[in-house]
Structure formats: structure tokens, C-alpha cells
Structure 1
Amino acid sequence: MIKWFAAILGYMFFRLPGAVLGFILGSLLDATKIKTSGGFKTVFSQEPQVTPADFELNLLSLSSIVIKADGRVNQTELDYVRRYFVSAYGKERANATFRTFNEIIKNRHVSAQRVCMYINQHTRYPSRLQILHFLFGIANADGAVSISEAEEIQKIAGFLRINFKDFESIKAMFFKTGDHAYKILEIDKTATDAEVKKAFRTMAKKYHPDKVQHMDEIHIKGAEAKFREVQKAYDQIKKERGIV
């Protein structure tokens, strides 16, 4: 441990006062050492690395905001989050995490902005897109995304520094309107066939599962779901326009 080495070194030069000072400074250095666990450490792209619990707790905090957005706690949405965490981290770890989640749900003072600031420091942009997709999945677990839930998720998207077109693209995967296929591809209905093809190539590249290979399997599956929505949107537009 750094603190003991520093204490011994301090004692050699300044006796007891040096040992005390060395121990304090060494303790501070020990506290800043990076903690990692299993394969989860690759979720984060920037230093410093954090423990799995840090990320899970912040993801659960955002989940609680979405669940409570319409003024009630929906059991179907809670079950969706639980299944997600069991798939991502295993039943034992998910159950342990959910003991804390119950407290988060009761907490009326979760700061989305503070949570997102933390996530922004430790995740890549494609990972944040996947988090946004996950939050819409929670809202849609009971069969429909309410306006209040969509508005809350849009606020979170802003805090996560997700641009508006990307937000609208992922939102359109859950809101099936007359032009949702175009919104998924981030183009207008007036786009030319050539622009449609170009948009598909761009979005397929953006949402390709390879972008989140550094994340857990459950996140990769989520990326695959987004990729399928892009393909379906393109197929729908091709069918409507007769594009070969």
C-alpha cells in the first residue's frame, strides 16, 4: 500500500511528523487508485475508471426518474428494469443492486443533471445513446410511452449531451407516427431517394452493434435492436417509394 511506504519514507527523513504526513499523503494516493471489476471496466472510455456499482447506481437513478415521470410507480416498468439488470449482471448481483433501487424509488430528490454529468465523464457517446434507448424501453414497458415520460427522457437526453436529431431518431422507434421511419433515419419526407439511401448508410454505421462492443452483452443486444429499427425504417420507405 502506498500509504505505508510513504509513512516509512517520511519517518526516515523527518521522524514521527514525517511518518504522519507520509501516511496522510499516501492514503490520498491510495484513494485515487483505479478500481475495476471483471469485464465491466471496458464500459468506460475515459479515466478515471469506476466500480460497476457506480455505473449501476447512476443508471438506476435515471430509471427511477422515468418510472416516476407520470406520477405513479408502474410494476411492469419495475419488472422491465429488473429483467434488464438480471440479463446484464446476473440474478445475485441484480438482487443486491435492487435493494438500493427501492430506496432510490422513494427518493424524490434524484438530480438528473448531476447523474448525467457523472455518466458523461465516463462513457462514450454511443453508450449514452444506448442508455437513452434503455430509458425509452422502460417507459414503453406498459405498452406506450406517455407524454410526461417522453418529456422527462428528453430532459435527460439534454443532460447527456445527445443531439436533438439522435433523440428524435430513438424516440421514433417507440412512437409509430406517419413519418416515424423518416425520423429514425433523421431525414424529412421530402428527401430524395439518393438522400434516403445515404441516410440509411449513415444511421446503420451510427447504430451498428460494433459501436458498443466494449459494453456488456445486454447493451450489445440493445444496439442490435436499434440497428433492426433502422433497417425496418429503411425497408418501409423503400416499399412506399418503390426504391430498388
Structure 2
Amino acid sequence: MGWLGKLVGGTLGFAIGGPLGAILGAAFGHGFDKRDEAYLSGRGGRPGGYRRIETQDDARHMTFFVAAFSMLAKLTKVDGRISEAEIRTIEEIMEKDLRLNTESRKIAIQIFRTAVQSPETFESFAIQFADAFRHQRQILELMADILFRVAASDGGVSSDEERLIRSAVRIFGLSAGFYEQIRSRYMKKDKNEYEVLGLDPSATDEEVKKQYRKLVREYHPDTIASKGLPEEFTELAEEKFRTIQEAYESIKKSRGMT
């Protein structure tokens, strides 16, 4: 994740602006004003170590990374305290899902801590994230999944946490049906294979096969990688992909499908 190295070195500057740019500024002690914004948009110049972002991929990677940990910060703090279970789950996401190295984890933690104290709102982060990925529904769904996963990690989802997640789903432009599907998955102790596939148990064998093929196309790691996210983030898609495959195989076995 080369852009993280540039960020640590102070050479990437503020490439995204808005509430997420404010988090970066506060987290790493860089000043950000209209002159910086003009410089980064190509409307002006500014001496002293900054340079414009090099690629659109860098901007997307940074937006995903900063938005994810900023939204998680606001989500975990909304009910008054950040639980040990929530911290462990976020650490697990950093280590096992995103496979961040030690330096990258330090950056994620710094962003998280800054966002916890920031006057910016959860909704402002969600709006900027949705704007960046408005044509990439799978990524929006993955982010919603992460939010529910962390909120449910301490044994339940509080009404305030659910309010924020519902708000994110709405801002992301995802359906009420998707929200109920993901809510059901995390609010129940036992995951239902049909819920994983977004189906009712009354679905026909052909409907099960059709839905499975659709989800495989959408969540195949190669499909997610083609959206412009760095390799580390495709780990999230791979986990989702494995869950889909396991659910389908379980249904096939129980039904005797070929």
C-alpha cells in the first residue's frame, strides 16, 4: 500500500479534502486551508513539501482507509464507551482481513483516535465515502457489513449503533431489504444459510442456483480488485466470498442438489 508510505513521509499531502481530509490533518499535524485545497486541485501552487496526489487509485485507497476507521470510531463511541470486544474485532479486521503491517496499523489507530475526538459526524464520513464509491455497490455493502460486524461483536447492537448503521445504509443508497438481511445475520446467534444468500427458505432450487451465481460474480475477489482497491482490501471480499460458498454448499447438501 504505497500511498500509506507517502502519507507517513508527509509527501502525499491532503488528497481528499472534506471531513476525511480534516481527520488526516488533525491526525498527522498538517495544516490545511484553502491554499492547500487550491494546490491539490491544480488551481495554484504551494511550496514546502506538499505534492499533488499522483493517481486516482491513491485517492480511492485513502478514502476507503480513512473513512472506514473514522466511521468505526464514531460507531463504537456512540453508546458512551468503546468495549474491549469492539477493539479486538477492529484489531482482527486490521490484521486478518486487511493484513496491515505494523506501520499501517499505527496509522489506522491514529486515524481512529482522532475521529473519536473529532467534531465531525458519522454521517459526514458516510456521505463522503458514498460519494467516492457511488458506482461500486459491492464496496458500499462490504463497508456496511464491517459496521454491523463491529457493532455486534460485544454481544449486541445498541439502538444508537443501529441508528448509525441504518443511516449509513440509507446514505449508501442500499435497499431496506439489504439492511434487514445484514441485520438478521448479525443479530442472530446462528447464521442462516438462506440469509447469507439473501433468500427465503421457500426459494426453488433454480432460484438458489441463480442467486448463488449472481453473488459469486459480484463478490469474487477479482471483481472487487478490479474496482480499484488495493490488494489488502480484497481480503474482505475473499471472506465474504467464502461465506457465500459455504452457505451454498450447505443448502446443496441439505436439499440433495446437483
Alignment of 1:1-244 (within 5 A): 30-33=39-42, 35-36=53-54, 41-42=56-57, 49=59, 52=62, 54-85=63-94, 87-107=98-118, 109-123=119-133, 124-142=136-154, 144-148=155-159, 149-176=161-188, 180-213=192-225, 214-244=228-258
Please tell me the residue identity of whatever aligns with 2:257. Answer: I
CA distance in structure 2 between the partners assigned to 1:190 and 1:85 by the alignment: 38
Greater relative contact order (CA < 8 Å, ≥ 6 in sequence): 2
1:50 positional shift:
6.1
Q: 8 Å contact 2:72–2:112 — kept in the other structure?
A: no
CA distance in structure 2 between the partners assigned to 1:181 and 1:50 by the alignment: 33
CA distance in structure 1 between the partners assigned to 2:124 and 2:194 by the alignment: 33
Where in structure 2 are there 5+ consecutive unaligned residues?
A: 1-34, 43-51
**Based on CA coordinates, which of the two structures has the bigger radius of gyration?**
1
Where in structure 1 are there 5+ consecutive unaligned residues?
A: 1-25, 44-48
Task: Please give the TM-score of this superposition, normalised by the length of structure 1.
Answer: 0.70
SS in 1 for 2:178: helix
Q: 1:221 to 1:168 in 2, by over 3 A?
A: farther
CA distance in structure 1 between the partners assigned to 2:94 and 2:107 by the alignment: 11
1:55 positional shift:
4.1
Q: Of Structure 1 and Structure 2, which has the larger fraction of its residues in helix?
A: 1
CA distance in structure 2 between the partners assigned to 1:27 and 1:131 by the alignment: 29
Q: 8 Å contact 1:84–1:218 — kept in the other structure?
A: no
1:167 positional shift:
3.2
Identity %: 23
Task: Please give the TM-score of this superposition, normalised by the length of structure 2.
Answer: 0.67
RMSD between superposed Cα atoms in Å? 3.1
Q: 8 Å contact 1:179–1:189 — kept in the other structure?
A: no
Please tell me the residue identity of whatever aligns with 1:136. Answer: F
1:147 positional shift:
4.4
Please tell me the residue identity of whatever aligns with 1:80. Answer: T
